[in-house]
Every structure is written in structure tokens, then in C-alpha cells.
Chains A and B, each alone.
Chain A
């Protein structure tokens, strides 16, 4: 049924010396995170800065990692070590809208299976895959702290709760 497998968007990481470039505004934003930590503890800013890289480049790529290593005076492997631990960092390209459906117990018993089926049928993909046009990626994730308003999903950073199939249709149709 899948029209496009996630692998269409999987970029095998090629480790080169390429260093990403960011606009002066983005570099300023990155610096604004550094001031939170003691000067000799720059590494503390790594997770917040990985989010900036992900926002700017769409995923955590080799060039972005190389940039952070330089910026924070770390080894490239230090950056990868942290980046590969956390589930919110995408180590492959994903769709423009990342639909993350909670599959943990409260959501599961309150209707997650129907919501997941509805979304996947509508987009014609399986969980873990990206639509052919690169618009949506669907992922099943663990509890997002919305169990009282289950079932729920997060798209990007936005919470969508008390989901019904009608509500899902409205939300997905409103996304560009």
C-alpha cells in the first residue's frame, strides 16, 4: 500500500569535512544558548544547538554536526555520541510535517489504533514512512504527557489532543 518508503528519504550519512554555514542571526541565536552555562562547559549547549541545526537543515546531517563540533570546541564524535542517543533528533531526512502519534497505554486504550490507521490510510504510508511528496512523516512515539486528553499526536512541536478522525482530517487538511 505504501507509495513511498522512508528509504526514499534516507540519506546514508557520508562523513566528510563539509561544514554547514548558518546565517548571522542563527549564529547569534546559538550564542544566546551558550551564555546559560559556565564558559568551560560549552558542551551543555549541545542539545539545544542540535535542535537549531535540525530546524535549519531539516535533520541532523554531517555538515551540521561538523559545524557544532567547531562551534563548541568538541570532537565530531562527541557531537554524534549525543545526537544518536535522543529520539527527537532525526538522523535522516523526514517530511515537512512530522506527525508523532502517541502509542503508549492511555492513548492505546482510548483510540490510538483507529487514529493511526486513519492517518496511515489517508496518507497511504506506514508508521516510520514519509509520503512521496515529502510532506508528511508518521512516527509512533511513547507517552507525550497528554494522557488525560488521549488519543493525541504532536506535529512538529504542536500538541493535538482529544483526537477524533474528523479532527485529524481538519488538522491534516490545514497543513501546507
Chain B
């Protein structure tokens, strides 16, 4: 598996190939914790303004501007404030945070401490998906090292800034990546999402002001403080600042984690050249899911010769979304009915059960997919899938419902042949994928 930067200096990936890069010693030898020192000599507003100027947008999936999110946290609060890192990384096709956590844990500690200093937070929690146990061990060691060096805990670096730092584990639930469900889980409850507003910035962990950010978002913060927000932004585009990590899996020769400047041109070159092209030379590209399983699937016609730009705006124009940046590349051997069924099973399994459209809807979707794949597909089944999606999308309590609907809606529309073929071979009629 490749881990490398293309079209830019490695920033997020700076320590990926440095021996013992995960230790405090090597981290500091390679410039680590200088940004924290710098930030602690800045005003809280100045730090937030640098992050705003960087045009950093949340890397967890929603792409919300990070500086703006931080500015929602009340300056003065009678309650303690918290910074929480979302290391739940469970979006199918996404595995970038894992390598940051494994090989550069101090970068996350530094980013979170800068956030904590800027927001006046009393403690930081890193919420790991339960399966990432080995990464929790690595992070716990890094925290111990940092504590021994007066970098976390009381009177950080001899100042009057104190901030505690802890790891926390989930236990197998994709929904706990949703920030309010994550907070419920961190409080020891079932991982059900909460009503927004109030947003976590006002009432988050323990009903206290809380910022929740993705790992990659927080590890960008020391870079932004080091080089200045404007300079970091200019690595990317005006609205999509900086560089971004992309996880690539599926039918390519060189799967891996790639760091690209935002605005990279273009998606076809990325897959066909940077990622080594198709795994099997005699198989053609069929489909790409560019942003983790929850975004629209793209067909080859939307990619080949289309010059799709890799940033928030460019991928929307191209017909999908950045999401979590998880590329799943599929060649012509894949049947998109089957791949969509696979993802729908995922959403059914991961639906938290809180609201009816998502809980019941995903269950019915899987039942219909099962019927189709067992050879009992009815001509109207494609439309039936779309109707159910329509009753989930926008009508569910949290975005997991939408995430279950979008792959199906885009798959039926963009790969009608793969559905028709399953619905045609019926004695009960000449199946037509209706209205698509």
C-alpha cells in the first residue's frame, strides 16, 4: 500500500516514513510542538482567525469550515469546555486517519491542544472506534510522553494553561461517527444522535460547549499555525484550503493514502496514473465512489475525459462529493446492483434504530435487494427502491438516512443496465427501470 504526497510537499504525511516518527523525541526533532508554543503566544481570537483564513473545512465528511465552527463556542462559559476528536473512522472506503494515528499521534495531540488553548477548553478526548485498539495503545503512550514533558496536564510548558487529555473507546457502531451520537456514546449511552440545535458548540459533552473535529482536521492545525492561515489556504483553492488525504481502495494497482493539494487536476489522472491505473490491465474502469460509501457513485463517462477537479466544489460539479475522501474504484467485473446491495446491507446493519424511516426503510431496501439477487426481481423493483429512498432521504433524524439513500439513487440512475439485467429475465413481464 502506498502512502505518499503528490503535487505538494507532504504535510499531513510528513512523518509517515520517518523512523520512530510516533515518538515525542522524533516529533520534536522534526519541528513538533513548535506550533503549540507559537499559538500560546497568540491571542485566542488570532488563532481562530488564522484557522478561518486557512479555509480549512472539516475532513470528517461534512466539510464544515473549521474556523467558523470554533467561533460558535462561547468565549465565556460558566461550564467547562471540551475538545473532542472524532477518530471513529468507520465510513467504508476510509482509512486515512488510521495512519495519522499510528505514525503521528503527537500531531493530533498538538492540534487538539492548540484548539483547546484557542477555545479555553479544560480537557480533550479522542474517541476511537473500538476496533482501533492498537491505535489507542499508541496514543496512550504518546499522551504519557507528552505529560512527562509538561505538554499535557497542568501548567502546560510552564504557562498557566492547563488541559487534560484522554483516549476513549467506542465498541463497534458506525453511527458513533456522527458527532452527537459520538457524544452520547462518550457519556456511556447507546449511540443515538441528538437533536440539533443545540449544537455541540453550545451544548455538547455533558451539556457543555464542545468542539468535535475529525483527526485530519485537527492534525492540519499545527501546520496552519506554523505557516500562517493564508499560506496554508494557498496550497489549495480559495474555498477548499490546503491539502487533503484520500484513501484509495479497490481495483487499482496502487491502493493507499494520498495527500493532494485541494483543487488537484484531475480525478481521471489520479486513478489512472497516480494510483497505477486499473489492477488488471485488461479490465476497464466502471465506477468510482470518491468520498466514502455515503456519496453518489460515478460512472466512467463522468470521469474519463471530464477533467474532474478534486476539491469540494469540483467533485460536486463532477457529480459526487468529497465526503470522507474514500475512493472505492471498481472495474467492469463489478455488478453495480450487487455493490449497491452490499452498501445497503451496511447501512441497515448500522442504522441505530432511533427513527422509523431509516430503521424500517433500510430493512425493506435490503429485503428487496435480496429478492433481486435471488432472481426474484420484479420489473417495478428499481422504482420501488427509489420510492423507499425518497421516504428516507430528508425524512430521517440524522444524515445516516440520506447516506443510505444516495448510493442507491445514483446507482439506479447511472447504471440502469446493471439493474435492468436483473429485472428483465422475468417471466412476469419485460422489466423496465422506470423513470430513470
Residues of chain A having any CB pair with chain B under 8 Å: 36, 38, 41, 43-48, 50-51, 72, 81-82, 85-89, 103-106, 108-110, 141-150, 154, 157-159, 162
Contacts and interface: CB of A to CB of B under 8 A. Distances in A.
Contacts of B339: 105, 108-109
Interface in B166-202: 166, 168-174, 185-191
B95 A44 contact: no
A148 B342 contact: no
Given A47-B169, A82-B189, A105-B339, A144 B131 contact: yes
Interface in B89-131: 89-95, 97-98, 125, 129-131
A86 B91 CA distance: 16
Nearest to B133: A157
B277 interface: no
A51 B133 CA distance: 11
Interface stretch (B69-77, B245-253, B364-372): B245-253
Nearest to B340: A105
Contact of B169 (A48, A109, A147, A162): A48
B261 interface: no
Given A41-B187, A43-B188, A142-B346, A86 B255 contact: no
21 contacts: A36-B125, A36-B166, A38-B206, A41-B188, A47-B185, A81-B189, A81-B190, A85-B173, A86-B173, A105-B250, A106-B249, A109-B251, A110-B249, A110-B250, A142-B92, A142-B346, A147-B92, A148-B248, A148-B255, A148-B257, A149-B1
Contacts of B133: 157
Nearest to B347: A142
B93 A106 contact: yes
A81 B185 CA distance: 12
A36 B131 contact: no
Contacts of A82: 188-190
Contacts of A88: 130-131, 171-172
Contacts of A46: 188
Contacts of A109: 250-251, 330, 333-334, 339
A103 B342 CA distance: 8
B172 A43 contact: no
Interface string B120-151: 00000100011111100000000000000000
Given A41-B188, A82-B188, 20 more contacts: A36-B168, A47-B168, A47-B170, A47-B188, A87-B172, A103-B342, A104-B293, A104-B342, A105-B328, A105-B343, A109-B339, A110-B249, A110-B251, A142-B92, A142-B174, A145-B98, A145-B132, A146-B95, A147-B250, A148-B249
B186 A142 contact: no
B350 A148 contact: no
A41 B169 CA distance: 16
Contacts, number: 141
Nearest to A38: B206
B241 interface: no
B326 interface: yes
B166 A147 contact: no
| In the A-B complex, the 4 residue pairs with the closest CB atoms | A43-B188, A86-B171, A88-B172, A147-B249
B349 interface: yes
Contacts of B188: 41, 43-47, 72, 82
B250 A51 contact: no
B134 A157 contact: yes
B134 A159 contact: yes
Contact of A154 (B131, B174, B293, B346): B131
Contact of B92 (A44, A86, A104): A104
A53 B250 CA distance: 37
B297 to A, nearest CB: 10
Contact of A41 (B173, B206, B330, B350): B206
B256 interface: yes
B376 to A, nearest CB: 22
Contacts of B191: 85-86
B250 A86 contact: no
A140 to B, nearest CB: 10
Given A47-B185, A106-B250, A147 B94 contact: yes
B169 A145 contact: no
Contacts of B173: 85-87
A144 B174 CA distance: 10
Contact of B187 (A44, A106, A149): A44
Contacts of B91: 143
- Among B90, B98, B188, chain A packs the most CB atoms within 10 A around the CB of B188
B249 A50 contact: no
Which of A36, A38, A109, A148 gathers the greatest number of chain B CB atoms within 10 Å? A148
Given A36-B166, A142-B350, A145-B131, A108 B342 contact: yes
Interface string B308-330: 00000000000000000010101
